[in-house]
Structure 1
């Protein structure tokens, strides 16, 4: 069966005005991820990303210089927009600056969104789920044997949950577990897709590299 390896982008610039770029640590995480793939002889014959800068930067820092194909279905949901709707345009400072508060609010907001709330957001939950499903079809529709995708935590959580037939709420539980540059592998054949591995970080498992592990 063919392999689809979906990697979450490396650490971005949390708390900065422009989140959509890698931190210095993010570039290092990406280098280690790319080195790990090459050390195992895993060479992709197709490269994909969403349209986000942090995804493209991750792929380049992994050592893959060829221009990837892009599909917006691999982009993250717009959490800033969802927060804007949830709080009527006045997002509390603690939500923006404090990590614990941020991720607790993230979970609460996405569950509300999935239940049909946050009317007026730029994207509905059903719209998000549909574009992720379309991205999966796009990534697995040709004859490539090893497809490498750089995506984000939300789409990876949704790809995993939908492949397992899990309820929508499980997507958020998975989303919050996805580590920067973690590797989630699917195998596919003739329109069938199966989860093979979730959220692995072999390049960050040693005592030397463990301190480089991040979730945002």
Structure 2
């Protein structure tokens, strides 16, 4: 049965001027994940990724770690993360925003959770995209992967899009998307098996590259 390894990007640059760049640790994470996947015998015949830089850099590191030659990946914008900075700004456009919501991790993720729940209820005016648009494009990406004809797929995405694909696969309420997202580790592998008509979750938030010896510093969440 065809299998999809849907991978969250490696550590990006939280708090920096450009978040969409892997940190030095992020490059190490992606390389180590590639080595771990090779040890598991994962040999993809199709590669997909979102259109963001952190997706491309993560996939490049994975492929390098697997010892494979660089290969072209199909870009699916539906795998992109939602614009969390723009969404936060829209939510607090007409009211005081929590202090340091863009720069301090604890404040950011607590505020993001509440903001996403409001977004799902269509309570935010003029968001960068509506919840329906976001969930629709994630579903379109899932369908494109399932229709690709590939047997072993590696795809790199972001926590929000992955959380939504999992929630939709499980027919879970919308509010479970953000709960899944906030659990997602950097370079975590989420596995699905599928047929033309069915799509099943087969593994969640797996980190085959992390052991007791390297969990510090390789285990990160943002």
TM-score by length of 1: 0.96
Correspondence list, 1:201-212, <5 A: 201-204=207-210, 206-211=211-216, 212=218
* Counterpart selection for 1:123 from 90, 114, 129: 129
Q: Which string of whole-angstrom CA distances, capped at 9 and with x for unpartnered residues, describes residues 112-144 of structure 1?
A: 000011121120001000000000000110221
**Equivalent in the alignment of 1:161:** 167
Contact 2:85 2:102 (C-alpha < 8 Å) held by counterparts: no
**1:38 is aligned to 2:28:** no
Question: What is the rounded CA distance, in whole Å, between the counterparts of 1:91 and 1:48 in structure 2?
Answer: 36
Q: Is 1:22 the counterpart of 2:28 in the alignment?
A: no
1:113 equivalent in structure 2: 119
Which secondary structure state, in structure 2, belongs to the residue aligned with residue 58 of structure 1?
helix
Q: State how far apart, in whole Å, the 2-side matches of 1:22 and 1:84 are.
A: 24
- Out of 111, 136, 140, the residue aligned to residue 134 of structure 1 is 140
Q: Name the residue aligned to 1:80.
A: 85
Residue 206 of structure 2, aligned match among 200, 205, 210: 200
* Cα deviation 1:3-45 (Å, max 9, x = unaligned): 0110000000000000001000000000111001111111100
Contact 2:99/2:107 (<8 A) preserved: no
Which piece of structure 1 moves more, 139-148 or 178-187?
Answer: 139-148
Unaligned runs of 5+ in 1: none
Gaps of 5+ in 2: none
Give the structure 2 partner of residue 177 of structure 1: 183
What is the CA–CA distance in structure 2 between the aligned matches of 1:99 and 1:144, rounded to whole Å?
Answer: 38
Q: Is the counterpart of residue 71 in structure 1 residue 76 in structure 2?
A: yes
SS across alignment from 2:3: strand
